[in-house]
Chains A and B, each alone.
Chain A
Amino acid sequence: AQSVAQPEDQVNVAEGNPLTVKCTYSVSGNPYLFWYVQYPNRGLQFLLKYITGDNLVKGSYGFEAEFNKSQTSFHLKKPSALVSDSALYFCASTRSGNTGKLIFGQGTTLQVKP
């Protein structure tokens, strides 16, 4: 069965430090992978996606993610965290040939402290 795991409920980083939010997936076939962000009292917003090609994907607000097929991971990264990056982050996956049904991870709360 298809699944997405985010092993950390919360990640704490200091402003200006690099951040990583982890995601692993289990998908048969070629995975399509997404990151979304949710700010308080808001809907989810798309950050970036991996479909094919370069394993390093760049997205909105300076975020990037690295697809690692051997480790079945798609970790979200940012070189220098901002306090305004504090939010709930969701990793999601689907696979080629699927009709768009995304499977979401449980979410990771990112807390960036000044």
Chain B
Amino acid sequence: DAGVIQSPRHEVTEMGQEVTLRCKPISGHDYLFWYRQTMMRGLELLIYFNNNVPIDDSGMPEDRFSAKMPNASFSTLKIQPSEPRDSAVYFCASSPSGGALSYNEQFFGPGTRLTVL
């Protein structure tokens, strides 16, 4: 298995531009998570999906952020318009269900390093 795949690995854009981050979860995993990591705030959960349905988006910082999961093998996180304070590493993770989900570990992708100038 290739693991969780994220693209691009690095993204540099200018303030005001639209940014789209992509994620392919591990096949068969029912849960998908988007995280943001910064030095100041650490690791933050932005949103997560179960069977392609958003379950909890309380971590999405503002309306400029949106996430979709059109099918079981693909998800996007979009920022429009982007701002310098959005600069961070964005991780996607997936997890299998089966039994009580809460004790299944999450598998993280390599992350997308976003720089907004």
Partners in one complex: yes
Chain A positions near chain B (C-beta within 8 angstroms): 32, 34, 36, 41-46, 49, 51, 90, 94-102, 104-107
Contact (Cβ within 8 A) A107 B43:
yes
- A32-B103, A49-B103 known; A100+B110 contact, CB < 8 A: no
Q: What's the tally of chain B residues with a CB closer than 8 Å to chain A?
A: 24
Q: Please, how many angstroms separate the alpha-carbon atoms of A78 and B111 in the complex?
A: 28
Interface residue? B106 (CB, 8 A): yes
Contact (Cβ within 8 A) A95 B102:
yes
Interface residue? B50 (CB, 8 A): yes
Chain B positions near chain A (C-beta within 8 angstroms): 4, 31, 42-43, 45, 48, 50, 55-56, 91, 93, 95, 100-111
Query: Tally of A-B residue pairs with Cβ under 8 A?
Result: 59
Contact (Cβ within 8 A) A51 B108:
no
Q: Which of B4, B48, B111 contacts A100 (CB 8 A)?
A: B48
Q: Which of B55, B106, B111 contacts A102 (CB 8 A)?
A: B106
Q: Which of A43, A101, A102 contacts B91 (CB 8 A)?
A: A43
Contact (Cβ within 8 A) A104 B106:
no
Q: How far is the CB of A20 from chain B (nearest CB, A)?
A: 21
Q: Please, how many angstroms separate the alpha-carbon atoms of A42 and B91 in the complex?
A: 10
Pick the 5 closest A-B CB pairs, nearest first.
A43-B108, A46-B105, A100-B101, A44-B108, A51-B103
